[in-house]
Structure 1
Amino acid sequence: SRAAPLPAAMAAPPLPARRWPLPLPAAEPLLFLATLSLGLQGPLATQYLWDRLGAERGYSGPNTTGPAGCGNSSAATDPLRQEVEVLVSHWNLCINLGGFFVGVFSVTLFGPWSDSVGRRPALILPALGMALQAAIYLLVMYLQLHVAYFLLGRVLSGLMGDYNLILASCFAYVADTSDKRARTFRVAVLEACLGTAGMLASIGGAQWRKAQGYINPFWLVLAASLAATLYAAFCLQESVKQQKPAKLFTLSHYKAVYKLYTAPENLSSRRKLALYTLAFFLLVTVHFGAKDLFVLYELGSPLCWAADLIGYGSAATYLAYLSSLGGLRLLQLCLEDTWVAEIGLISNISGLVVISLASTTPLMFTGYGILFLSMAATPVIRAKLSKLVSETEQGALFASVACVEALCSLVATGVFNSLYPASLHFMRGFPFLFGAIILLIPAAIIGWIEIWDSNRDYSHFSDASLSPADGGEGT
C-alpha cells in the first residue's frame, strides 16, 4: 500500500528537470533584431520631430544649416530654436508616457502568463506590436500626418507588451536554460546583444538617414521587427517544459508578482529582493533618462551635431555594453560580483558628470569613453535577483523586473524630459549631473547589502567557534 506514491513522484519530476541544455537557436538573435529595430527608431524619430516641428515654425535647425550656423552666439540665444527644443522634448514626453503607461499593465499581465503557456507567445506579441508601430510611423512620414499619430503607434505597441516584454521574456528564457554559477555572465552576454545591435543601428541609421532621409531607414525598422516576430514564431525553441493552458485576463498574474515581495517566508531574502529592486529601478531610470536626452542635447548649442556625429555618439553609448561585458569577465576573475557592480557605477557616475559639462565634441566623446564600464552593474543585479528566488518563481520575478523597467521608462521620460527644458536657462547638462547624483543611492545599497552579508557570515562563524564553551565537543 505504501508503493502508491511512486507513480505520483514519477509524474512530478524534480525541479532540476526544468533545466534545459542551451537550445539552438537561442534568444540572443531575437533580442538582437528587436534592439536593432528600436535602436534605429529612437534617434530617427527624435530627429524627424525636430525637423518637422522646426519647419512648421520656420526654423532651419542644425540638421540643415550645419554646426557652423548653430554654434554662433545669436543661434545659442535664438528663442525660436529653444521653442523647437521644448516642443520636441514635450512631444517625446507625451509619446513615451502614453506607450509606457499602457506597457506597465500589459507587461505584468503577459509575464506571469508565460510561466504557464511558454515564453514564445510573450515574444511573438511584442515583436508584432513593434512592427505595427513602425508601420504607423511610416504612414506619418509618407502622408505628412500630424505627429500625434506617433502616440497612436506607441500605445498600440504598449498594449502588446512593447520592447520591455521582449527584454523580460528573453531574460526569463536565459534563467530557464542556465545554472546559477553561469547566470551572471549569460545575462551579460544577453545585454551585450543590446550593445551590438544598438551600435550597428546608430552608425548605419545615421549614415543612411544622412544619405536618403527618414523613410528608407524606417523600412529597416519594420523589417527587423517582422523578422523578430517570425524568428519567435518559427525558429525559437520553447524553454518552459511543462506548458499548460492558462487564462490571460485574470488578476492571478498580478497577484503572483505581488506575492513575490510580500511572502512571509525567508524574510531576509525578500528584504534583499526589495533593496536590489530599488537599486535596479534607480539605475535603469538614469540609463533611460540620459539616453532619451543624448540626441536632443547633441542637436542643440554649443555642440550642434549633425546626423553622422549623432550616430557615432549613439554608437558610443551602445559600445558600453560590449566593453562592460569584457570588463565584467575580467573583473570576475579577481572580484566578487558586487564589487564589479560598484566599479560599473563609478564609471557611470564619472561619465555623466563629464557629459553634463561637455561644451565641445572631444569632451563629449571623453564622457562617452568614461562610460565604458557603465553597463556592468545591471547584469549583476539581474543575476542576484534571480538567485534570491526559487526556480519555480523565476517567471514571476522577471515579470516584476519587466514591470520595474516599464516604470523606469515612465519615470525617466517624465522626470528627465521635463527637467531638460526647465534647466536650459542655467545649465543644459544639468539632467546628466542630476542622474549622476541619483546613482550614488544604488551604489550605497549594493555595498551595504554585501557588507551586511559579510558581517552575518562572520557572526555565524564566531557563534560556531564558541559553541564548545556551551558544553559541546570542540573540533
Structure 2
Amino acid sequence: MKKQDLGGKVVEMEEPDLVTVVNEQVSGNSSEHIDVNVPKTNFCTKLKGLCFRNMNAVRRVSVEPALLVVMISMGLTGGVSMQFVQHRIFENFNISTSGGGGGCNVTANLTEAQKEAQLEFNGFNVISGFVGGIPALFVTLIVSAISDKVGRKLPLLLPIVGMLCGTSVFLLVSHLHLPLTVLLVSNIVFSFTGGYALFFSGCASYVADTTSKKDRTFVFALLFTLSLIGSGIAGIAAGYWIKASGFNPPFWLAFAMQLITVFYLLFWVPETVKSTEDVLTNKPKPSTASTLCQGLSGILNVAEKGRRIWLLLALSVQFLALAVFGAINSILTVRLLSLPFCWNSVLLGYFNATKPFINGLGLTLGTRFFTRCLKDYAVIQIGFLSTIAMLIVICISTETYGMFLVNVAGCFHALPPALIIARMSKLIEPSLQGALFSLTGTIESLANILGPFILGLVYQATLNTFSLAVFVVMIALTVVAMIIVGILMLIEGSPDGQKYQEFMSDSEQDDDMIKSTTSPNVGYDE
C-alpha cells in the first residue's frame, strides 16, 4: 500500500491496481488482451517525489513566479535594447545621446543628421515590431491549441528558449560590435517561439487546469498583476543601471533569470496534462495537425451549445480593451516628452514605474473586493469607466501633477481584459482550455500590433490640428466595448441564459477533480 498526497487529502493506493483495472475492463472479451507496462521507479521519479512531498502550496504557487521573473527579464531586455539601438544609430551620425528632454526640441532646429538619425531609429523600430509580431500570431495559435494534448510545458518553455537565443544575439552584437541588422535575427527567433503571448497563454492554461472556477477570476487577475509589477520593477532598475554600467549588465542578468526559469519549469512545475487513455488502449498519438484541428474545431463548434456568439463578442471586448491599453502607453509617452510637458527621462521613468504598480494594486484589490458584491460584468464596466476617466484626465491636464493623476484615475483599467478572459475560461470545457487561450493569445498579439499602429497614425495625422483627437477615439472605442459587455449581460439574462450558468457553475465535485489531477506527484512525463 502506498499513501499519496492529493491536494491535502491522503489517499491509500496500490500500484498493481492499474493492471487489475485494465484486465477488468476487457474481462468481458477473453480474446482481447492489453499489455500495460507500469513505469519503473527510477532516480528522477524518486527525486521529484521527494521535492513535492507534503507541499500543498505547489497547487497554489506554480507558474506565478516564472511569470514575474520573465516579465522582469523582458522589461530589462526590451527597454535596454531600444536605448542601445538609439545609441548605436546616433553614434553612427556622430550625435550624442546624453541628456534628457530632447523631445521638446523644435523640428526646425534639428540638424539634417539628427533628422536622418531619428528617421532611421523610427524605421528600425517599425520593422522590428512587425518582424517580431506577425509570426507569433500563428505560433501562439498552433502551440496553445495542441497543448491540450501534448501538455502545458511546451507553451511555457518554448518562448523562454526564444528569449535566451535573443538575449545571446544581443550580447554578441554588443560585445563584438556587429551590425544592428543582426538584432532582427533575435526578434525573428523570439517571434517564431511565440513570444510573450504564447507564454502568457501557457500560464493561463496552466492556471485553468489547477484552479476551481470560483477562484479562477482572482488568479487570472493575479497573473495580470504580476505581469504589470514585473515590467514596473524592470523600468525602475534599467535606467539607473545603464547610466552606471552600460548596456551589457542588464542583459547578462536577464540571461541568468531566463536560464533559471527554464530549470524551474522543467523540474519544479508539474505537468497538468497527461493522456492516460492512449497509454491504456495503446492507441497511436494523434498528429500535431489533427490535434490542432480538433482543438480549434472544439472552440468554434460551440454553436450547438449556444455559445458561439457569446464567445465572439467576448473576444471582441478583449481586442478593444487590449488595443486601447497598448496604444495609451505608447502615445502617452510621446505626448509627455513633447510640449507642453517636456518631461526628461528621469521624470518619465518614475511615471512609467508607478503606473504598473498602481494598476496592479487596483487590479488585485478590485478583483478581490468588487467580485464579492458585484457580478463579473459589473466589475468589467467599472474597469472601462476607469479607462474613460483616465483618458479624460489626459485631455484636460496641462501640468505635471495633473498627468500623475492619470495613473490614479485609471487604477482599475486593467480589470476588463483579466475578467473577460476568466469569464471565457469558465464557459469552455477543461479539455479545450489550451485551444481557448490560443485564440486569446492571438487576439492579444493582434491587438498589441494593430492598436498602437492604427491609433499612432491617428495621432500623427492630427498632431498639428487637434492633438487630443486620438484620445477621443480611444474613449469612443471604450464605449463600444461597454456596449458589447451590455449585450453579453443581456444574452446571459435571456430565457436561454440558464445554459451559461450551467457551464459556469462550480461544484464540489469539480474542485475535487482539480485537486486530484494537480497533485504534486501526478503528471510527470519521463
Same fold, TM-score > 0.5, yes or no = yes
**Alpha-carbon spacing, 1:427–1:51, altered in 2? closer, same or farther (3 Å):** farther
Residue in structure 2 matched with residue 207 of structure 1 by the alignment: 240
CA distance in 2, matches of 1:359, 1:75: 21
**Alpha-carbon spacing, 1:302–1:50, altered in 2? closer, same or farther (3 Å):** farther
CA distance in 2, matches of 1:246, 1:90: 46
SS of structure 2 residue aligned to 1:399:
helix
Residue 175 of structure 1 pairs with residue 214 of structure 2 = no
Structure 1: state its 5+ residue gaps.
12-19, 461-475
Residue in structure 2 matched with residue 257 of structure 1 by the alignment: 296
**Alpha-carbon spacing, 1:138–1:441, altered in 2? closer, same or farther (3 Å):** farther
Please tell me the residue identity of whatever aligns with 1:45: S
Deviation at 1:168, TM superposition (A): 0.3
5 Å matches for 1:23-422?
23=59, 25-60=61-96, 64-67=98-101, 71=104, 74=106, 78=110, 86-242=119-275, 246=285, 249-250=288-289, 252-254=291-293, 256-267=295-306, 269-319=307-357, 320-355=359-394, 359-422=398-461
8 A contact 2:159–2:193 mirrored in 1 = yes
8 A contact 1:356–1:428 mirrored in 2 = no
> What does the per-residue CA deviation read over 1:144-197, in whole Å, with 9 as the maximum and x for residues that have no partner?
433333322111011112111110010000100111111111111121111221
> What does the per-residue CA deviation read over 1:374-405, in whole Å, with 9 as the maximum and x for residues that have no partner?
11111210111112212222121111111212
8 A contact 1:290–1:431 mirrored in 2 = no
SS of structure 1 residue aligned to 2:189:
helix
Please tell me the residue identity of whatever aligns with 2:373: C
> What does the per-residue CA deviation read over 1:346-378, in whole Å, with 9 as the maximum and x for residues that have no partner?
111221343356554323222122211111111
**Alpha-carbon spacing, 1:126–1:247, altered in 2? closer, same or farther (3 Å):** farther
Residue 434 of structure 1 pairs with residue 468 of structure 2 = no
8 A contact 2:459–2:469 mirrored in 1 = yes
CA distance in 2, matches of 1:336, 1:133: 43
CA distance in 2, matches of 1:454, 1:440: 21
**Alpha-carbon spacing, 1:418–1:372, altered in 2? closer, same or farther (3 Å):** same
Residue in structure 1 matched with residue 507 of structure 2 by the alignment: none
**Alpha-carbon spacing, 1:328–1:410, altered in 2? closer, same or farther (3 Å):** same
Deviation at 1:284, TM superposition (A): 1.1
CA distance in 1, matches of 2:417, 2:164: 27
Deviation at 1:317, TM superposition (A): 2.8
**Alpha-carbon spacing, 1:119–1:417, altered in 2? closer, same or farther (3 Å):** same
8 A contact 2:173–2:179 mirrored in 1 = yes
**Alpha-carbon spacing, 1:290–1:135, altered in 2? closer, same or farther (3 Å):** farther
Residue in structure 2 matched with residue 472 of structure 1 by the alignment: none
**Alpha-carbon spacing, 1:278–1:331, altered in 2? closer, same or farther (3 Å):** same
8 A contact 1:420–1:430 mirrored in 2 = yes
The 10-residue stretch of structure 1 (281-290 or 379-388) with the greater mean CA deviation from structure 2: 281-290
Please tell me the residue identity of whatever aligns with 1:253: L
SS of structure 1 residue aligned to 2:132:
helix
Q: Percent identity?
A: 27
The 10-residue stretch of structure 1 (257-266 or 102-111) with the greater mean CA deviation from structure 2: 257-266
CA distance in 2, matches of 1:458, 1:218: 51
Please tell me the residue identity of whatever aligns with 1:367: V
Deviation at 1:6, TM superposition (A): 7.5
C-alpha RMSD of the superposition = 3.2
CA distance in 2, matches of 1:372, 1:167: 22
CA distance in 2, matches of 1:246, 1:303: 61
> What does the per-residue CA deviation read over 1:11-39, in whole Å, with 9 as the maximum and x for residues that have no partner?
9xxxxxxxx99626501011111111112
SS of structure 2 residue aligned to 1:250:
helix
Deviation at 1:116, TM superposition (A): 1.5
Deviation at 1:113, TM superposition (A): 2.0
Residue in structure 2 matched with residue 7 of structure 1 by the alignment: 25
Please tell me the residue identity of whatever aligns with 1:66: G
CA distance in 1, matches of 2:223, 2:216: 10
Normalising by the residue count of structure 1, what TM-score does the alignment of the two structures yield?
0.83
CA distance in 2, matches of 1:352, 1:227: 40
CA distance in 2, matches of 1:115, 1:410: 27
CA distance in 2, matches of 1:327, 1:251: 41
Please tell me the residue identity of whatever aligns with 1:232: L
Q: Pick the structure with greater CA Rg.
A: 2
Deviation at 1:127, TM superposition (A): 0.7
CA distance in 1, matches of 2:490, 2:186: 47
Deviation at 1:257, TM superposition (A): 1.8
Normalising by the residue count of structure 2, what TM-score does the alignment of the two structures yield?
0.76
CA distance in 1, matches of 2:360, 2:404: 16
Deviation at 1:321, TM superposition (A): 2.0
8 A contact 1:75–1:301 mirrored in 2 = no
Residue in structure 2 matched with residue 464 of structure 1 by the alignment: none
